[in-house]
Chain A
């Protein structure tokens, strides 16, 4: 009987080891000197920060980190603003062209972004955008998913609430920011988290849009670093991986309640 009660804990614990081991081994390797990395001990015998110092001095990880941050933040702000606004307008206003516009936006959900990389690339090089932040940014400034999500939530706001504000003489912009937005705050924060994460970790489009090493985002930089300048130097590759993974894990642990709530919220809609 007792075993039956503890069995789920035991299985979950074993699973946790599988989930965490790659991270533990990554950090462990990053703290070892090059001659020690084939040593099996999980806790480094002679821990050293020399790999980190070498990477910070000789490569552009700091720069890539900043690039990723800039791209992810700008994209997230834009997506939040436009998707919420468009979702609100489609949910709460009746106007000529409403259905057409909504169907148009929804139809973009059916087309995988992989299909668009070729026209986007040709567009960027034609317009001279290649190798700028803008080239990385522009495809993600609005998302069909976000519009769809926000429309679902905006529809639940009672019309009377908005009309009361109109009778009070509030301007439509003020109504949107002061009345509508606070009502759907949980959905907005969920959208913010998803957008930030997917842009922070994006690989395919930033790989194509950027040519000069100094403008790479963190995933692209790490990929080139690992297959190029640090080839087979696993202590350096693992240090680079640690630098790109640990900050986001820390942020996740801080925000985990919101993130998990956000996924539940969007998944149930």
Chain B
């Protein structure tokens, strides 16, 4: 039976009547198309549910909660209160402080990691031996848990820790570091930079390798100094990498600013005297200590707008047109 049908099929292909061939390929194509659509939509079913249910709707829900008086502890009804939460937030000194601190974390932290990342990458680009060895060492902090590292830094920098011991032995005054409202935020930023140098280094190394050697040779012929070569060849050609690194760095720093502050600050919530509190720590306190979801949601909306503005600003300022 099967043989018969297959030979029949052959016959058709050998001397086919025009009309029938057309309808056959048509049918074949139609079947393929149907199969494709079936494949596409069955595969997209779960992802669509996920992105709608776990990303998009919750985002909209946050906006909604931000306009309501919504405390998980007190009432069952959540009345609409307009912009009242936003007004309350902007009247709260701690919130303003947390926004200001977040800006410091991002500006100093991101520029610090870019500068050190470029320096290490330039040095590695200059040497011929042990490149792989140094790359591994500088990258190790990036793969390790921020929580663990934060506690190690606390231990190293504490009042009678090893750094203060060294300072005293050198005849210098011991420093309060994380205990001081003036120093703590910079110590935390230092730890953030320390941890992310390796990541930036890899990105910049790749960027450096993409710069054609020819350009440096041309600059040599023109008698350019190393400094001039950096500013007129290397820096402009690294520009796309710098924009990418700055945007990625900003987004990760928002997150890191929670983990690091909770685990490094003396009281675990942005102390001493709120000197290290970041917006995410502030939101966490509101939502999961006081259960004031309305205020906390309004704060997340402000954080969202803040990141959006910062990212657009970075793209605009950093993506300059250079004349080569």
Number of chain A residues close to chain B: CB under 8 A: 81
Interchain nearest-CB distance for A42 vs B (Å) = 9
Residues facing A in B260-315 (CB within 8 A) are 262-263, 268, 280, 283-284, 287-288, 293, 296-297, 300-301, 303-304, 307-308
Docked pose: A222 CA to B262 CA in angstroms: 12
Which of A166, A237, A260, A264 has the largest count of B CB atoms less than 10 A from its CB? A260
B162 close to A (CB within 8 Å): yes
A245 close to B (CB within 8 Å): yes
In the complex, which residues of chain B have a beta carbon less than 8 angstroms from the beta carbon of A25?
152, 155-156, 162
Using known A-B contacts A23-B140, A26-B152, determine if residue A203 contacts B146 with beta carbons closer than 8 Å: yes
Using known A-B contacts A12-B124, A19-B138, A25-B156, determine if residue A86 contacts B44 with beta carbons closer than 8 Å: yes
Residue pair A95, B40 in contact (C-beta under 8 Å): yes
Docked pose: A244 CA to B150 CA in angstroms: 13
Chain B residue at minimum C-beta to C-beta distance from A230: B151
Q: A-side binding surface: helix, strand, loop or mixed?
A: helix
Residue pair B54, A114 in contact (C-beta under 8 Å): no
Partner of B144, one of A116, A238, A248: A248
Docked pose: A240 CA to B152 CA in angstroms: 10
Residue pair A120, B58 in contact (C-beta under 8 Å): yes
In the complex, which residues of chain B have a beta carbon less than 8 angstroms from the beta carbon of A259?
139, 143
Interchain nearest-CB distance for A147 vs B (Å) = 8
Using known A-B contacts A101-B48, A237-B151, A263-B202, determine if residue A118 contacts B65 with beta carbons closer than 8 Å: yes
A35 close to B (CB within 8 Å): no
- Stretch from A43-51, A103-111, A148-156, A181-189 contacting the other chain: A103-111
Using known A-B contacts A9-B127, A223-B263, determine if residue A172 contacts B39 with beta carbons closer than 8 Å: yes
Residue pair A112, B251 in contact (C-beta under 8 Å): yes
Using known A-B contacts A203-B146, A252-B140, determine if residue A116 contacts B202 with beta carbons closer than 8 Å: no
Partner of A241, one of B61, B151, B198: B151
Partner of B300, one of A8, A115, A219: A115
Docked pose: A132 CA to B283 CA in angstroms: 24
Using known A-B contacts A204-B280, A208-B288, determine if residue A249 contacts B143 with beta carbons closer than 8 Å: yes
Number of chain B residues close to chain A: CB under 8 A: 87
A215 close to B (CB within 8 Å): no
Partner of A114, one of B194, B263, B303: B303
B318 close to A (CB within 8 Å): no
B130 close to A (CB within 8 Å): yes
Residue pair A197, B143 in contact (C-beta under 8 Å): yes
Docked pose: A263 CA to B199 CA in angstroms: 8
Residue pair A142, B141 in contact (C-beta under 8 Å): no
Across the A-B interface, how many residue pairs have beta carbons closer than 8 Å?
Answer: 230
Using known A-B contacts A241-B151, A267-B241, determine if residue A118 contacts B300 with beta carbons closer than 8 Å: yes
Residue pair A112, B58 in contact (C-beta under 8 Å): no
Partner of B36, one of A85, A122, A172, A240: A172
Chain B residue at minimum C-beta to C-beta distance from A267: B203
In the complex, which residues of chain A have a beta carbon less than 8 angstroms from the beta carbon of B288?
121, 208
A53 close to B (CB within 8 Å): no
In the complex, which residues of chain B have a beta carbon less than 8 angstroms from the beta carbon of A214?
none
Residues facing A in B43-74 (CB within 8 A) are 43-44, 46-48, 50-52, 54-59, 61-62, 65, 72
Interchain nearest-CB distance for A163 vs B (Å) = 10
In the complex, which residues of chain B have a beta carbon less than 8 angstroms from the beta carbon of A241?
148-149, 151-152
Residue pair B255, A113 in contact (C-beta under 8 Å): yes
Docked pose: A249 CA to B140 CA in angstroms: 7
Using known A-B contacts A119-B58, A222-B145, determine if residue A114 contacts B258 with beta carbons closer than 8 Å: yes
A164 close to B (CB within 8 Å): no
Residues facing A in B132-175 (CB within 8 A) are 134-141, 143-149, 151-153, 155-156, 160, 162, 165
Chain A 182-204, CB-CB to B under 8 Å as 1, else 0, gives: 00000000000000010011011
A212 close to B (CB within 8 Å): no
Partner of A245, one of B32, B144, B206, B258: B144
Residue pair A204, B55 in contact (C-beta under 8 Å): no
Residue pair B303, A260 in contact (C-beta under 8 Å): no
Using known A-B contacts A19-B137, A112-B303, determine if residue A8 contacts B127 with beta carbons closer than 8 Å: yes
In the complex, which residues of chain A have a beta carbon less than 8 angstroms from the beta carbon of B135?
256, 260
A128 close to B (CB within 8 Å): no
In the complex, which residues of chain B have a beta carbon less than 8 angstroms from the beta carbon of A15?
120, 138
Which of B40, B62, B127, B141 has the largest count of A CB atoms less than 10 A from its CB? B40
In the complex, which residues of chain B have a beta carbon less than 8 angstroms from the beta carbon of A253?
136
Chain A 9-34, CB-CB to B under 8 Å as 1, else 0, gives: 10110011011101101100100000
A-B contact pairs, 13 of them (CB 8 A): A15-B138, A19-B197, A22-B156, A25-B156, A113-B255, A118-B62, A118-B300, A144-B55, A222-B147, A222-B151, A248-B144, A249-B143, A268-B206
Besides A82-B50, A267-B203, 8 other CB < 8 A contacts? A12-B120, A85-B47, A105-B47, A112-B307, A116-B62, A119-B59, A245-B148, A256-B136
Question: What are the nearest 4 A-B pairs in CB distance?
Answer: A119-B58, A172-B39, A241-B148, A219-B147
